[in-house]
Amino acid sequence: MRLITALVIAVMLSVTFALLAHAHEYKTSSLRIGHPWTRVTPKGAAVAGGYAEIENKGQTADRLIGASSEVSGRTEIHEMTMEGGIMKMRALPNGIEIPAGGKVELAPGGLHIMFFELKAPLEEGKHFKGKLIFEKAGTVPVEFAVEGMGGPGEHTGHGAPKGH
């Protein structure tokens, strides 16, 4: 009986922690950054995509102009689009505008942060530290949650560090 109670509590706690891990968010005076995450990478992978929801509650537009992380040598801001049935990815040197009162979703298949020169494979359930750099809000430290595979591996064949 006691063992079962302990098990139930353990399960409830792990569910709570899982929910907390999923709900992580970061705030500045104007921005809310919801759930920064990335995906597990296969062994030997050198790149990974970073995703998050960025909401601007302020009166003026801001701009995500850069990012960095402790797991990557280099980090860029990218956009993925479909052109003639082919997925194309390009760097956005001017970053991404976060309109006043608006919300921008960085998600697989669309806008994303690109981690290059990964120092080690990203393992499911782990977190790593990163920074998002905004034109107005400045540098915001965040943690990226590494989530399991699900959906298409949209970064397959994306090994070239430049000009993809």
Residues between 110 and 139 with contacts to Cu ion, criterion CB under 5 A = 114
Tell whether the torsion through CA atoms of 27, 79, 50 and 12 is positive or negative. positive
- Does 78 sit near Cu ion (CB under 5 A)? yes
Q: How far apart are CA 38 and CA 41, in angstroms?
A: 9
Site stretch for Cu ion (CB under 5 A), options 32-40, 55-63, 84-92, 102-110: 84-92
Smaller CB separation from Cu ion, 28 or 37: 37
Q: Which two tokens stand for residue 48?
A: 């990974």
Q: Cβ 56 to Cu ion, closest distance in Å?
A: 23
> Candidates 19-27, 59-67, 76-84, 128-136 — which segment interacts with Cu ion by CB under 5 A?
76-84
Q: What's at 103, amino acid-wise?
A: K
Closest CB to Cu ion belongs to which residue? 78
- 89 is a site residue for Cu ion (CB under 5 A): yes
Q: Which of 23, 29, 26 has its CA nearest to residue 141?
A: 26
Separation CA 107–CA 114 (nearest Å)? 11
